[in-house]
Amino acid sequence: MSSAVSTSVELPSSEISRDTRPVVRPRYHDLQRTFQLILATVWLMDAVLQIQPFMFTRGSSGFSGMLHSTAAGNPSVVAHTITWNASIVYHQPVLTNTLFALVQFVIAFGIAFTRTLRPALGLSIVWSVGVWWFGEGAGGVFQGTATPFGGGPGAVLFYAVLAVLLWPSQGSDSPFVAARTVGVKNAKLIWLVVWGVLAILSLVGSGRQPKALHDLVAGQNVGQPGWLAHIDKVSESFFLHHGTSAALLLAIACGLTAVSVYITPQFTQIMIVTAIVVFAVIWVAVQDFGGILAGGATDPNSGPLIILLALIYWPLTAGELPRPTGTAENTVIANDGVIANDAVIGNGA
C-alpha cells in the first residue's frame, strides 16, 4: 500500500533556476500522518454538514428533533439523558448547533496542525463518546438495533477508535500503521474486539430479521437521487428475501476478519480486502452514504470509517513501505522554483 499523497518542496532561492533537470530530494511518506489527515478531512466534512440549514431549525426534521428521535426504544435512564440534551438544543438551536459545528471545525483543523494534533485527537475521543450517547442514542445497542448494516454500534465510535490508533508517535509503520502507537499486541486486540463486536451485532436483536433490515433501507430512501433509490429497492428486496442469510454472512466475514490478524499476513490482506469491499457495498447500498445525498445527514455513517480502520491494519513489509518521493520519476524542479507536485488534493505532510 502506498500513501495517497506526496509533497511539493519549495527550494531555497539559491537553488532556483530555469533548469528543469530532475533533482532528488528524499522525503518519506508518513502513512500515519496521511491517515490522520484523511480523518481530519472527514471531521471537516462533518463540521460543514453540521451547518446545513435544517440543523438550525427546531422542527422534527431539525437538529433537536433528530436528537429526540434517538431516545425512543432506549432504557429510560438513557432516554432521559438524550431528551434532556435535545430539549437544550430545542430551546437554543442556533447557539447549540453553532457550538457543535465549531467543535468539529476545531477538531478538523487541530488534527491538521502537528502542534495541536494531540489535543484535537483527545477532544475527538471525548466528543465522539458524547455524540454516541446523546446524538446516536448509544448507537441502538440498548435497543437491539445496532446492526453493522445500519452503522452499529454507532458510526461515531469509529472516530474515537481511529483517534486512539492514529495517536501520533515516532516509529515504523511496519508491520502495520495501527501498531505504531499502541504496539502490535494491543492493536491486534483492538482489531479483534472491534470486528468481534461487529460480528455479534450482525446476529443479535433485529440485526438478522429480514423485515427489520428491509425497513432499515426503506426508511432512508426518501429524497435520494434516482440511481441510489433504485439500488435501495434492490437492497430492500434482497433483505426481505435473504435478510437472515445476509446477516449470517456478514457475521462470518466480520468474525474471520477479527481473527485474521492472528493468522498469516496474506490471510489478513485477503480479509481486509473483503472487509473493505463488503463495507463499501453496505455504505452505498444500505447506508445510502449516511443519508448525505438526501440532504439530511450530519455524518457519512460507519462505512468510510470502517474502511479507513481496515486500511491502517494493512500488513506492510519492509519492501512495501513507501519509498522516498523525491525520485527522478516524480519530482522535478519547475522553473518557478517549486518541485512539481504529484498529488491532487494537496501537499501532504
Partner 1 sequence: MDTPSWLYYLFGVAMLVVAAYGVFLLLVSFRFGDPAGRDVDIAHLFMGVAMAGMFVSRWTFWPSGFWELVFFVLMVWFIARSAQSIQRFGLHIPHEAIHVLMSLAMLLMYWFPMAASSNAMSMTSSSSHRILDPGVGLLLAFTLFGSAIFTLASPIKGASHHGTHAVARRRALAPIGSAVSGGDSSVEAEAEPHLRGDSSLLSAIASPQLEDLSHVVMCIGMGFLLVLML
Nearer to partner 1, 15 or 241 (CB): 15
Minimum CB distance to partner 1 smaller for 21 or for 185: 21
Shortest Cβ 47–partner 1 spacing (Å): 9
Our finding on whether 337 is near partner 1 (CB under 8 A) is yes
Given candidates 1, 2, 28, 52, which one binds partner 1 under the rule CB under 8 A? Answer: 52
Please give the C-alpha separations between residue 138 and each of 97, 146, 184, 204, 297, in angstroms, as whole numbers. Answer: 20, 9, 29, 16, 17
CA pair distance 86, 102, nearest whole angstrom:
18
Q: Is the peptide bond before 175 cis (omega within 30 degrees of 0)?
A: yes
- Interface residue with partner 1, options 1, 2, 23, 41 (CB under 8 A): 41
Residues 215-274 that bind partner 1 (CB under 8 A): 225, 227-228
Rounded Cα distance, 60 and 67, in Å: 9
Question: Do 341 and 26 contact (CB within 8 A), yes or no?
Answer: no
Asked if 44 touches partner 1 (CB under 8 A), the answer is yes
The residue (of 12 and 185) whose beta carbon lies closer to partner 1 is 12
The residue count for binding partner 1 (CB under 8 A) is 60
Grid cell, residue 273, equals 480486502
Residue 13 lies near partner 1 (rule: CB under 8 A)? yes
DSSP SS3 for 332: strand
> DSSP labels for 111-136?
HHSGGGHHHHHHHHHHHHHHHHHHTS
Of 105-144, which residues contact partner 1 (CB under 8 A)?
108-109, 111-114
**CA–CA dist 8, 25 (Å, integer):** 10
Contacts (Cβ under 8 Å, ≥6 apart) of 295: 52, 54, 223
Does 102 bind partner 1 (CB under 8 A)? Our answer is no
**Cβ closest to partner 1, residue 49 vs residue 199:** 49
- Interacting residue ranges for partner 1, rule: CB under 8 A: 5, 7-10, 13, 16-18, 20, 33, 37-38, 40-41, 44-45, 48-49, 51-53, 56-58, 93-94, 98, 108-109, 111-114, 225, 227-228, 289, 292-295, 329-330, 332, 334-338, 340-349
